[in-house]
Amino acid sequence: MTERIVVVAAALMSGGRLLAARRSAPPELAGRWELPGGKVEPGETPESALVRELREELGVEARTLERVPGEWPLKPGYVLVVWAARLLPGSAGPAPLEDHDELRWLTPAEIWDVDWLDQDVPAVKGVLPWLDPSA
């Protein structure tokens, strides 16, 4: 049995809004939107991988809150898991440093204004209850 590769993504929230990142690479995904994240490396927990990926891709310091229920298949051998996350106080605002060319903070009313990657759609639906505008 081959071991599956876990890809973690962040439902990064602030002020009742969700951060969406537009892919710039690879070409087949460019222009579509996703929850930012990346692969869990050997010896990492999903939570530590997500914190690392957010630092590398967006230049932010964040903490994971809890896992969004479910997991979604990506390409063969890969599975997507999503964690709710928040920026740490004092962290710089996110910037598209790697694999993205634009970021948008979306309110619940704007969530479906972007063209999400297919595998991110159920994860985004799972995050909607966490988007409390008073947060």
Does residue 78 sit within a domain? yes
Task: Identify the domain containing residue 15 by its residue range.
Answer: 5-127
Let me know how long the chain is.
Answer: 135
Does residue 118 sit within a domain? yes
The span from the CA of 45 to the CA of 51, in Å, is 10
List, for residues 103-112, the tens digit of each pLDDT value.
999 999 999 9
Grouping H, G, I as helix, E, B as strand and the rest as coil, residue 70 is coil
The span from the CA of 121 to the CA of 36, in Å, is 13
Does residue 55 sit within a domain? yes
CB 20 within 8 A of CB 33: yes
Does residue 13 sit within a domain? yes
Residue 6, burial from CB neighbour count under 10 angstroms (0-12, 13-18, 19+): middle
Q: What is the pLDDT of residue 134?
A: 52
CATH number at residue 76: 3.90.79.10
The span from the CA of 49 to the CA of 117, in Å, is 21
Q: How many domains does the chain have?
A: 1
Does residue 133 sit within a domain? no
Facing residues of 85 across strands? 12, 64
Which residues of the chain register pLDDT less than 50?
Answer: 1, 135
pTM (two decimals): 0.90
Does residue 67 sit within a domain? yes
Peptide bond into 26 cis (omega under 30): yes
Does residue 134 sit within a domain? no
Does residue 132 sit within a domain? no
Q: What is the pLDDT of residue 1?
A: 47
The span from the CA of 132 to the CA of 130, in Å, is 6
Q: What is the pLDDT of residue 2?
A: 62
